[in-house]
Amino acid sequence: MTTTGSCMCGNIRYQFTGEPAVTALCHCIDCQKWTGGAFTSNAVVPRTAFSVTQGTPNSYDAVGASGKINKHFFCPNCGSSLYTELEVMPDMTCVKAGGLDGGAANLGNKIGVEFYVKDRPQYLQPCEGAKQEPQFG
Ligand SMILES: [Zn+2]
Ligand SMILES: [Zn+2]
């Protein structure tokens, strides 16, 4: 199974094969700032299963709470937030699910874990069945 995605303008296209290892929402302040939204929704996949198939994203290095680098990849043309590579998770890619094609943005309507729920707005409810982490892990 191959899942494809793109930025808003279509300059960057990417894909991953297989099912995500985990589906996760992240409510941290960096995710809010980076996307302009209340949280990010993520398909966490092995880096070996992920590839950019068109275009070259730019990246921005943010220093996470761990002190390690969180690399943020985005479209240089339209600015869409695409995926992150965390130094603390060297084997995984966190694909921002909003960019996925064909309805895959809903992550199968199953969220495995929510991170940084301490920063989650009060107007949102916890996802049913999702592990609730006050911060990361
Ligand atoms: Zn774009
Ligand atoms: Zn986050």
CATH number at residue 80: 2.170.150.70
Q: Give a yes or no: residue 42 inside a domain.
A: yes
For residue 10, give the ligand nearest its CA.
Answer: 1
> Count of domains in the chain?
1
Going from the Cα of 130 to the center of ligand 1, the distance in angstroms, rounded, reads 31
pLDDT at 65: 86
For residue 56, give the ligand nearest its CA.
Answer: 1
**37: pLDDT strictly greater than 90:** yes
pLDDT tens-digit profile of 89-137? Answer: 999 999 999 999 999 999 999 999 999 999 999 999 999 999 999 998 6
> Which residues have CB under 8 Å from 128's CB, separation 6+?
none
What is the chain's mean pLDDT, rounded?
Answer: 97
- Closest by alpha carbon to 56, among 18, 2, 23, 11? 11
Going from the Cα of 74 to the center of ligand 2, the distance in angstroms, rounded, reads 15
User: Domain limits at 74?
Assistant: 2-132
Going from the Cα of 48 to the center of ligand 2, the distance in angstroms, rounded, reads 22
